[in-house]
Amino acid sequence: MTIAKGDTIPDVKLSKATADGPEQVSSSDFFAGRKVALFAVPGAYTPTCSAKHLPGFVDNAEALKAKGVDEIACTSVNDAFVMGAWNKSDGSDDITMLADGNGEFARALGLESDFDAYGMGKRSNRYSMIVDDGVVTEINVEGPGEFGVSGAEHMLGQL
């Protein structure tokens, strides 16, 4: 079952990429008590993710925060070291990287994709959502190979 508007984020362990290395965090704690703009990508350093998805949120971070977003987070089925390196090379201090190394978060949301045909295994769908105190208030899931509704520009219109 895919998560929907009004649903509570499931409690799953993630790894937050920090300057001091991975920090374990539960998703329920991370999303509690604030408004988070979350976006998910199939993989760090992949073409659309690096050329469009992450840069859109970097470029629009101030605008998102001006509309009431407390934190902007990116998740992917990568480890925290890869997510941290990607943020350092293409991201910004405005983006919190949440590693879903085993894909448990993607599975719990019902947003897991099968990239076996590309040699990439199980990954996350491309999506974005607004989560307010742990509850999904907006969700935007892309179709295979698409990029549009999960971008920062679309999310700005939802806030």
| Confidence grade of residue 113 (pLDDT, cut at 50, 70, 90) | confident
**Topology adopted by domain 13-158:** Glutaredoxin (3.40.30)
**Torsion of the alpha carbons at 20, 89, 119 and 47, rounded to the nearest 10:** 150
The one catalytic residue in 40, 49, 97, 111 is 49
- CA atoms of 49 and 133, how far apart (whole Å): 27
* Range in 42-46, 90-94, 119-123, 155-159 the model is least confident about: 119-123
- CA atoms of 123 and 37, how far apart (whole Å): 20
Q: Is 49 a catalytic residue?
A: yes
In order of 29, 96, 135, the CA distances from 33 in angstroms are: 9, 16, 10
Domain edges within the chain:
13-158
- The edge-to-edge listing of strands for the beta sheet with 95-99 is 21-26, 13-18, 95-99, 71-76, 35-40, 127-132, 135-141
* pLDDT one-digit tens code per residue, 40-95: 999 899 888 888 899 999 999 999 999 999 999 999 999 999 999 999 999 899 99
Task: Give the global pTM.
Answer: 0.94
